[in-house]
Structures are given as structure tokens and as C-alpha cells.
Amino acid sequence: MPVKITMPALSPTMEEGNLSKWFVKEGDKVNLGDVIAEIETDKATMEIEAVDEGTLAKIVIPAGTQKIKVNSVIALLVEEAENQAMPKQMARPSDVRGVRMFSSPLARRLAAQAGIDIASIPTSGPHGRLIKRDVEAALKGENNAAFAAKSDSAVSLALSDDAVLKLFTPGEYEIIPHDAMRKTIASRLIESKQTVPHFYVTVDCELDALLELRSCINRAASMKKTDDGSMPAYKVSVNDMIIKSVALALKEIPDANVSWLDSSMLRHAHADIGVAVAIPNGLITPIVRHADEKSLQTISNEMKYLIKRARQRKLKPEEYQGGSTAVSNMGMFGIKKFSAILNPPQATIFAIGAGKERPIVRDGSIKAATVMSVTISADHRVVDGALAAELAQTFKKLIENPLAILV
């Protein structure tokens, strides 16, 4: 019996993916561990390895197909003996799919009514037979994806594509199709704003002491060289110091280091900090795990590595999923202040503005200081106003007394 090759789940939350390319063709011999295809999710591109040996008898899903549900059959593999034993009219790749799919009449009728390709449904009947419960399970999967589909349509703000196009002159615009990442970002942002009660607190932090400390750290680092002596061992950025300050603030205020569950609340033992990184056509938040325990040098080197992999779209799901909070820094673009949208299951996100010289009043006198505005978005279900204010003040204290982040 042919072996089904199915769309793998590259992460616990993955529901569908795109099949970007095949590295083998029908009739090719496949060995265990061979890279046979490339799968694209909203955040990364991953390779599929063969988990069995045999001949690729049929490519069920062609390269370039999008939104393939996890566990859908994408190809069929037959063992060599089985391939040789099959009649020629059955062994031809174009015929295998037709003779392979055993199914009950009821299952076929239910699938036809729902508009589902029976070849894409995992089977559980005797000898690989598709039965009623398999189709029903597939339909439930369709229902689970209903919200995402609804979110996609909601992006149009009640106007269909045709209605929008009629508002503009033909030939005076270019249609640029959404890629998988942009669609996923859109649906998740809508879901977050519609289902999570956001509120915001803003605090101004003086940066002069932190900037001076950073200069001292980097001067010291410049005296150390990498193993080949070509460059400093590390160079700390302001963002590295912000990441460490956020992590220590959450450790000091553990009631804010939480995530919402419908049945309970998670209080995290460590501060895992997601850091927003802009990449072509979207945004991804690689995570610095246990940032509360890491030195600035370690955070700096780890961020450089994660940013490089993010921009190559080579991050593994465990490198960008989860986290107890996030940092979104737009200071380098000169943005003074903004509010960020939460990325569940994170209950907070720190939106970092630019550090600019501003007049401040101290001891009755007006002085100049480098000031940075930081807005914390919080999930009001688990972080109330007083707790968010306490978190903001703790972060401010660490930024303005930066020697504390070195201890």
C-alpha cells in the first residue's frame, strides 16, 4: 500500500502552510532523510525530509499551492517491490491517485457536499479506507479555521475587492498580492484587537546615564578582540540594554510576567523577551529566552544572531513563538511615541520611542536631558492599571539607574 506523505506541523500552533517547491519528481527514488520539498509558513521556510524509502509515485499537491492544511496528503510513496508489482496502468503516476483512494460511498458524498478533495483527508478506516468519521474530522478542522477566514475578510472593512477597485482609475494602480506572512499578520492583529482588552500606560525615561554607561562598556569591549583579533568581542546597543531592563522589571514585578488562559493564568518563572524585527513584507519577534539571567554581552551577541536568521527567514518556530512580553523599538526611525498591539499569549508589550533632548525641570531649574517615551500595552484581563503603572515605574528606575542591570 502506498505511504502517504502529509503536510507536517512545523509548530504546535500551525494549521496550514504553503508548498513552495518540490526537490523530487514523480518516479524518483527517495531515500530516508532525503530533502524532498520546501514548506513555507507565515514566518519561516523549512525543508521536509523523507521518513521512508521508496519511489515517489504521485505528487498530489503541486508546488506553489497555498493554505494546505496540516496532515493533508501532499504526495504518495511506494516501496520498490510494490512499485514493480503494480500493473503498468496502475503504476503510472497519473493513475496512482485514482486507484489508491479507497473510500466509502457516504464519505465520498459528504466530502463532495463540503467541497473537500478526498485525497487531502487523513484516513483511519481499514487498509487506509476513507470513512465517514474522517470527513467529519476534516469538517471540524474547517470550522476551527473559520475565525481566521473571517478575519481575512474583515481586513477589507466591509468593502469587497471589486468595490474598492471601482473607487480608482484602471491603470493608475498596481495590484500586489498578499503573501502568507502579510495575511497572517493581518488576521492575528485583528484577532488581538478584537479579543484582548488593551490599555496603555506611558512613562518618560531619562537616558543620559544609560548612554554614558553604554559608551564605557563599548570602550572596554573595543580593547577585547575576537579570537582572530579582527574586531571587538561585542558591541552593546541601547536596545540590548532595554531588553535587559524589561526582563529585570518583570522579575521584580512577577505579577506582570503572566499570560491569560481561559481557565487560569500563567505566571512565568523567567522573562522571555520577544524583540520586533522588520523583515521584507512583515515583522517577526525572535525571542531572547531567560533574558533576566543573561549578561548584556550575551544578549547583544544573541540578538545579532537572531536578527540575521530572521532576515533570512530561517528562524525555527521555537525561536519566535511564545515569550512573556515583547519590545518594539521605533526610536531609530525618529518616532517619539506610539502604542503597539499585543501578541498573545504575551500580556504586555513595550513600545520604545526615540531618545531626544528635551527640557526638564529639576530642583526648580530647567535643564536639558535625553528623554525616551515608552508606552506599555497591557492585557487588562491579567494586568490591571495599578500593576501596569508599577511595571512602568520599575522599568523607568532601571533605565535611569543602569548600573542595576549589570549586577
Residues with catalytic annotation? 380
**Integer Cα distance of 370 and 206 in angstroms:** 6
Question: Strands, E, within 268-391: which ranges?
Answer: 273-275, 277-279, 282-284, 287-288, 325-329, 348-362, 365-379
Chain-centroid distance of CA 360 in Å reads 40
Residue 295: what residue type?
A: S
Cβ of 282: how many Cβ atoms within 10 Å?
Answer: 18
**Integer Cα distance of 185 and 162 in angstroms:** 23
Cβ of 236: how many Cβ atoms within 10 Å?
Answer: 21
Provide CB contacts within 8 A for 121, sequence distance 6+.
72, 73, 111, 130, 134, 135, 137, 138
Q: Quote the DSSP letter at residue 68.
A: E
- Are 244 and 299 in contact by the 8 Å Cβ rule? The answer is yes
- Which three-class secondary structure state does DSSP give residue 320? coil
User: In this structure, what are the phi and psi dihedrals at residue 165, rounded to the nearest 5 degrees?
Assistant: -60, -30
Question: What are the grid coordinates assigned to 298, written together?
Answer: 550575551
**Integer Cα distance of 46 and 316 in angstroms:** 8
Residue bearing cell 503516476: 93
Residue bearing cell 484581563: 381
**Integer Cα distance of 315 and 302 in angstroms:** 13
**Integer Cα distance of 79 and 124 in angstroms:** 21
Question: What are the grid coordinates assigned to 314, written together?
Answer: 530561517
